[in-house]
Amino acid sequence: MDFKGKDIISIKDFSKKEINYILDYANEMLPYANGEKFKDILKGKVLASLFFEPSTRTRLSFESSMSRLGGRVIGFSDPSGTSLKKGESLADTIRMADSYSDAIVMRHPHEGAARLAAEFASVPILNAGDGAGRHPTQCLLDLFTIRSEKKRIKNKKIVLLGDLKYGRTVHSLSYALARYGAELTFVSPASLKMPKEVIDECRALGVEPTQTSSLEKAIKDADVLYVTRIQKERFPDAEEYNRVVGAYKIDNELLAGAKEDLIVMHPLPRVTEIHPEVDKTPHALYFKQAFNGLPVRMALLSLVLGGKL
């Protein structure tokens, strides 16, 4: 399977066979991700890391991935220090990064920005999140985590909770999980329901998601609880946000009603939706999930840059 030079814009651009190949390869990357082994397969390669929006995990894990494989990183985490400040267009910024690097990872507040960037770049574009749109590398690391912990995804009962309207990770993930034949339950405040087009996509793949506002009922027989933050930055007005903030809270009392082997995932950052007391329980998978960003992104960089293990 040849991924060299390929853009990573949306999970929908990949077949299930290709996704499985990436996840298997990410598994091979594990000893390189945790520092047990080292191989400089990306020596001499340069990644441009362009973050127009804040990030901790995605940016640092991409940059660490490049370093762990012997490559170098240029870029910015705050666009106010670039010539965008002088009015330069996104297209011209991408043209410049294209001429200085071998691949570009980009996070941008506008949906569709990564697809647009790919039109102006000859090197691969890796979408690190575009507005409320796609976040394909998060989706891959979520699939990797579920598959690693639960051995398979098919028929697993997966509850997606929180801001299902603005949360970009849950859109890509619902689609991908439906392709794998998972059983999906969506739990959210009424104003933050999963968009109809995502539900329609699941239906087209033969999965009928259950929609409810009762978390207690939903988690009783769940295998995975995927929690999301209420995306304050994407609300058009503060009042709407204030009405829903704190709608759900995961704590040990709630988890007492769940299966012993339920795993709690969260793309992070969390704010108040998971009580820190949960961190010490065997349910808490969110920090391991964030670590899994490393082998998955190492695998992707290795594949698109053509430096295989």
Q: Residue 172, interface with ligand CP (CB under 6 A)? A: no
| Preceding peptide of 236 cis, ω within 30° | no
**Among 35-43, 53-61, 74-82, 234-242, the segment contacting ligand CP (CB under 6 A):** 53-61
**Among 3-11, 91-99, 198-206, 261-269, the segment contacting ligand CP (CB under 6 A):** 261-269
* 228 is an active site residue: no
Report the SS3 class of residue 94: helix
Task: Please give the structure tokens belonging to residue 23.
Answer: 């996840």
- 103-108 and 183-187 strand pairing: unpaired
257 vs 269 by CB, closer to ligand CP: 269
Rounded CA Rg of the chain: 19
* 135 is an active site residue: yes
Q: Which residues have a Cβ under 8 Å from the Cβ of 90 and sit 6 or more positions away? A: 84, 108, 113, 116, 117
* 58 is an active site residue: yes
Q: How many CA atoms lie within 13 A of 131 on its CB side?
A: 9
Q: Residue 56, interface with ligand CP (CB under 6 A)? A: yes
* 56 is an active site residue: no
Q: Residue 288, interface with ligand CP (CB under 6 A)? A: no
List the one residue from 41, 42, 57, 218 that touches ligand CP (CB under 6 A): 57
List the one residue from 159, 230, 268, 278 that touches ligand CP (CB under 6 A): 268
Sheet strands (E) in 188-303: 210-212, 224-227, 263-265
Instruction: Phi first, then psi: give them for residue 277, nearest 5 degrees.
Output: -60, -25
Q: Are 255 and 278 in contact (CB under 8 A)?
A: yes
Q: Residue 134, interface with ligand CP (CB under 6 A)? A: no
**Among 6-14, 26-34, 90-98, 267-275, the segment contacting ligand CP (CB under 6 A):** 267-275
* 57 is an active site residue: yes
Q: Residue 127, interface with ligand CP (CB under 6 A)? A: no
Q: Residue 133, interface with ligand CP (CB under 6 A)? A: no
In angstroms, how far is CA 241 from the centroid of its own chain?
A: 23
Q: Which of 45, 59, 68, 107 is catalytic?
A: 107
Catalytic residues: 57-58, 86, 107, 135
